[in-house]
Amino acid sequence: MVTGPMLLVIFAISIITLLTLIIKFNWQPFLALLLAGFITALLSRIPINDIPGILTSGFGSTLTGIGIVIALGVMLGELLNASGATQRIADTILDIFGIKKSPLAVALTGYVVSIPVFFDAAFVILLPLLKQLSYKTRIAFSSFVTALAVGLITTHAMVIPTPGPLIVASNFGLDLGTFFIYALIVTIPAVLVGGFAYPMFLNKITGEDAAISKEQLLEEDITIKEDLTNRNEDMVLPGNSTAFGLLALPIFLILMNTVSQLMFAEESILRTFFTFFGDKNVALFLTVLIASGILKKYILENHEEAVDEIYVSAVKKTGMILLITGAGGAFGNSIVETGIGDYLIGLMNTWSIPIILFAWLFTQILRSAQGSTTAALVTASSTLGPVVMNSGEASAVLVALAVGAGGIGLSLPNDSGFWVVNRFSDFTMKETFQTWTAGGTITGLTALLMIFILSLFTGVLPGI
């Protein structure tokens, strides 16, 4: 086995190999992660016969903790989206805040909708609303795009039950309720800065001329209505209680699992009840069953496809996510077995680099280089999670949050999200960097600042 500084060389080679395969040769992250894990173990002089077991063990253990949850989360998102429940949520939030504060409403809409619906789909669904809002308010269209994109990417990277944050929590061995609460504390201020304050700053720079004109709307065959909440009068949407209730149900059950362990005795009936129904797998499974029954009539009313076709679509989307997640676990386990993770932590202590900052930088570099938030979260958490858990020298919650925050910003043209924003918004490259890249980076930095503030209360706040 290789030890000492050569471990850093091996680590650099494995990361460069991973990024080169994904960026230059357009390999699927699944294959690139597996190959990088094999190269890491081989260069570290792990016996070649042991390498397959290390990779498969990492792959399997990762999916054991997170596989069912990812599948159920995607299914729930598909059901909420196809039934119009996510649209109802968006309309209601806009009603509450009004047109004048619509950028804030848009940011919070993205924040909520991204929990069940993936970034790309949510952005495309809500984009026509942004154009109408820009026309009505005379606020720059780019401001609305920034607000929406920041809201979407923040929960995508940091708030359960979105798959990426679930993977991070699993790799750090965290209680999901605790992780969820602190993620809210960190991300809400971050979204207010990156998704509201920064878009309003952009609006001052660009001015009213940057707002969508009536001619632009008509060219895209978007009907202008005085009452934006009734813009889809042909659709039959679920009520507010249904839409918000189904979104909140799994989160409520998971949180009650955490609360019951703090409030009730171990033999208590309530604690037993919430321990079972608050398990992440059970909570999401129960919610999917309830959602499929309640939302079926709305799906059939608004679409030709039946509920079972929604499940087929969800399964197709789940497949690649599971493969990338498992391969990331395989790569991470390879790094753990070589001792690279322990060596990095020791080196950070020597250099006096806070592990929170290191986790954020590590994930940020992976995110900008790979172009995938989820892949960066998987790789970083698989590498750092076991080391932090075993060392006990840092708060696992704070380091896990730093990993999530590192997955938000510095999006470059190798990121599919970059091109979704660019193409659907009809932006120039400069506008895309100015809105999507800059907005996300400001949000990620704000989240990092919030994590450092939380770190001041280590040993005071529960779970930190």
217-228 tens-digit pLDDT: 445 444 433 444
Distance set, CA 266 to CA 174, 179, 283 (Å):
20, 22, 20
Q: What is the predicted pLDDT for the residue at 369? A: 64
Between CA 36 and CA 203 the distance in angstroms is: 44
* Spatial contact of 201 and 102, defined as CB atoms under 8 Å apart: no
Per-residue confidence (pLDDT) for residue 398, from 0 to 100: 95
CA distance 373 to 420: 14
One pLDDT digit (tens) per residue for the chain, 464 residues: 888 889 889 988 987 888 788 778 878 888 988 998 999 999 999 999 999 999 999 888 878 867 887 788 778 878 887 888 877 876 787 788 776 788 898 898 889 878 766 677 677 667 766 776 777 778 888 899 999 999 999 999 999 878 889 889 989 999 888 899 999 999 999 999 999 999 989 888 876 556 665 555 445 444 433 444 444 456 688 999 998 899 788 878 887 887 887 788 888 999 999 999 988 889 889 999 999 999 988 888 876 656 777 778 778 877 877 887 788 778 878 887 888 767 776 776 677 788 899 899 989 888 876 667 888 898 889 888 888 888 777 789 999 999 999 999 888 775 767 877 887 777 887 888 898 999 999 999 999 999 999 999 887 788 78
Distance CA 379, CA 355 (A): 16
Q: Residue 213 has what pLDDT?
A: 57
The C-alpha atoms of residue 44 and residue 50 are separated, in whole angstroms, by: 12
| Residue ranges covered by each domain of the chain | 6-455
pLDDT of residue 303: 66
Distances in Å between the Cα of 365 and the Cα atoms of 72, 338, 401, 407 are 30, 22, 16, 9
Q: How many CB atoms lie within 10 A of CB 222?
A: 16
